[in-house]
Structure 1
Amino acid sequence: MGRIAELRDPDRIGSHAAHSGRGRMMAKPNLATGIIIYLIEDDPALREAGRDLFESQGWVVRDFFSAEAFLAAPRPSGDVCLILDVLLPGLDGLTLLEKLRAEGSVVPAIMLTGLGDAATAVAALKAGAADFIEKPAERTALIASIADAIKGAKEVRTQAQLRDKAKARFRAFTTRETEVLTMMLEGMPNKNIAAGLSISQRTVEGHRARLMHKCGVKSLPALMELYLLAHQTN
């Protein structure tokens, strides 16, 4: 399963030229080192061709002959990308991806298939695949797709870290500071906040200063931006 007919095209994975190392030299994508590619493919020749291609980019490669073998290993994290064949013995690539997403994994994955049917492509993208590529895979396009997937996943992780830090700042508020914050975000001036909470305007000013300090901001627009970030749902 998952076998590609051999082609005399050095730019496609599965061709004789690609397997024998006589393909064109690939320009390395502008990505940091430390990238790991998890290649899950049951065809030994294609695993070897994929390893040669990915290692030529300076990437570490870990290959598996089945979804079950991959699941038996520690889960990947960091700057990684999964390359999954749709047709695998036992658990197929699409089911594997769905299982990973059900576990909460957000690692980028690119699906490869020799079938090329629209229904499978739609199912893969719905399951969270970063891309769906028909075999034989064009080398330059595959490398570019992997680079984009890793870059996108890194941006998502960075945004999630910023959101977590923002949430932590607001969790540090006292009950009174939270009350003052709510009224501030509603656009209420200090005197109205003071009247609404039955406290002095000077006390309101003190609460405002402390909550702004806790958030590390100096203006109301910046505070609003941080608040919206902390309350993003995705």
Structure 2
Amino acid sequence: MGEQSVPTRVEHGSAGEPIRVLVVDDHDLFRRGLDIVLAPEPDITVVGEAGDGAEALEAAQDLLPDIVLMDVRMPRRGGIEACTAIKEVAPSTQIIMLTMSEEEADLYDAIKAGATGYLLKEISHGEVASAIRAVADGQSQISPSMAVKLLTEFKSMSRRDDERRLVPAPRLTDREIEVLRLVATGRNNRDIAKQLFISENTVKNHVRNILEKLQLHSRMEAVVYAMREKILEIGD
């Protein structure tokens, strides 16, 4: 019996394959606008569009994009529900929620659903391309105003869950905890590598091991889990 081939992520950027992006939004003009914004970027290509979460799931399954740029609130099937479904059929695809919603509940639900980024539509054109590159490189992206809300939620969640640790958390190494703590403060792979005097590839390996141990999809989701389980604490 022949071996089943498994899609693997290739190196992106000028020396590799372009980052393949699926754009999902229920407003046609916004999708067209993103096409125009991303068209000049030589290392990014829009491979498809969808107008709601149901179409997004079908397109993601067919195209296996590297990145999905997706709105939170759409007809038929919303972005958060679609995020969960897309991660099941295309686990290597990274999802960035690009939305007008500043609701904390939407942010938190998106992270739990496996989103790697949560950006508000007020960001500049250049920031969209930069966010795509960062997420394709294994980093998380979140709008600064939403990051403050997320840290506030961490602290509230930590207080609420003081008495609820019924199952021991998977054991992380001291180095993995160091990396996770720096991820939680918003540092990218390059900054973490410099601070810990290790290579960026080593940082990526640590992050991958952390996600495998915790059985989670994204760096942000790992930070939420770690805060809840008291694996790490972020100071006031």
Instruction: Report the TM-score when normalising by structure 1.
Output: 0.49
Instruction: Report the TM-score when normalising by structure 2.
Output: 0.48
